[in-house]
Structure 1
Amino acid sequence: MLNYSLLHPPLLAALSRAGHGGRVVLADGNFPLTTAANPIAEVVHLNLRPGMVAVTDVLQPLLEAVVVELATVMASPDGSPVEAHADYAQLLGADVPLESLSRWDFYEATRREDVAVVVATADQRLCANLVLTVGVRER
C-alpha cells in the first residue's frame, strides 16, 4: 500500500517515468497546453471545472511522493506579487529554490525536452503555473 496521499494512478505512473532532472509542469487553467508544452510530455488532466482542482491541491500530495530540487514560477506581467507563489514557497519550504521567469521565458522552459509531465489544473489564479524539477531521493 502507498505510504503517501497521492493516489492518482496516471499521475503516479507519469511521475515514475520522469526521473532525476525531469520537469513536471503544474499548469493553471489559462496555460496553453497545445502550444506551450513539450509535445512528448505526458499530459494528466485534473481540470474538472473552473477552480477545481488548483495547483496547490496537486502540489501538496505530489511533494509527499517526489523530491523536488528546484521550482520555477511565471512572473506577473506587471511585476506585482502573485498570491499563488507565496503558497508554493510555503509548501516547498526553505530548501527548495524558487526562481521566477517572465511569461515568454516560462513558456520556453515548459517546451524543453526534459519536461516529462504536464498536469492540467483548473486553477483560476493568474500566473499560477509552476515547474518542478525532480530531485534525487536520499536514503
Structure 2
Amino acid sequence: MLKTSLLHPDILRVLARAGHHSKVLIADGNYPASTKRGPNAELVCLNLAPGVVNVAQVLRALLSAVPVDHINTMGIPPDDPYAQQGEPPVWAEYRAVMAAAGVKLKLEPVLKWDFYQHVESPDHVLTIQTADQALWANVLLTLGCRTD
C-alpha cells in the first residue's frame, strides 16, 4: 500500500522514471495540452467535467510524492487585459497548498511565451490535463533530488 496521496498508476509510473530537472506540467482546462508539450512528455487527462479535477488538487497530490526544486506559473504578459487585474486568485491557493505540504519555495511566474518554451523542452516528461476553469492556472514543476 502506498503512503503518498498520489495513487494514479500512469502518473506514478512517469514520476518513477523522471529524474532531477524533469518538468511536470499541471495544465488548466484551457491549456493546449495536445500541441504544447515536450518531445518526451506523456499526457494524462484528468478532465472529467468542468472544474473536476483542478490544478490545486493535482498539485497537492504531486507534492506528497516527489521533491520539487521550482514551481512556476504561467505569467501574464503586460499587454494582456487580465494583467491590469493583478495576480490571479488561484495563485494564493497554490501558495496555501505549498505551505501545507511544507514546501518552502516561491511561486515564480514565467511569462506566457517563455512558459511554453519551458514546457516544450526535452526535460518535460508529463502533462496532467485538468478541467480547472480558473484563468492563468497552469503550474510547471521542476523535480528535485531525493535526499533521504
Superposed pair shares fold, TM > 0.5? yes
Distance 2:87 2:123 in 1: 28
Map of 1:87 onto structure 2: 93
Map of 2:141 onto structure 1: 132
Distance 2:42 2:36 in 1: 13
Q: Larger radius of gyration, structure 1 or 2?
A: 2
Letter in 1 for 2:87: P
CA contact (8 A) 2:26 2:128 kept: yes
Identity rate, percent: 42
Q: How far 1:87 moved relative to its partner?
A: 1.3
CA contact (8 A) 2:51 2:131 kept: yes
TM-score (norm 2): 0.88
Residues 98-117 of structure 1 mapped to structure 2, 5 A cutoff: 98-117=107-126
Distance 2:3 2:144 in 1: 19
Q: How far 1:97 moved relative to its partner?
A: 2.8
Q: How far 1:33 moved relative to its partner?
A: 1.2
CA contact (8 A) 2:40 2:123 kept: no
Map of 1:4 onto structure 2: 4
Letter in 2 for 1:88: Y
Letter in 2 for 1:10: D
Q: How far 1:132 moved relative to its partner?
A: 0.3
TM-score (norm 1): 0.93
What are the ranges of 5 or more consecutive residues in structure 1 without an aligned counterpart? none
Map of 1:97 onto structure 2: 106
- RMSD, matched Cα: 1.3
Residues 1-139 of structure 1 mapped to structure 2, 5 A cutoff: 1-76=1-76, 77=80, 78-79=82-83, 80-93=86-99, 95-139=104-148
CA contact (8 A) 1:69 1:97 kept: no
CA contact (8 A) 1:75 1:82 kept: no
CA contact (8 A) 1:42 1:118 kept: yes
What are the ranges of 5 or more consecutive residues in structure 2 without an aligned counterpart? none
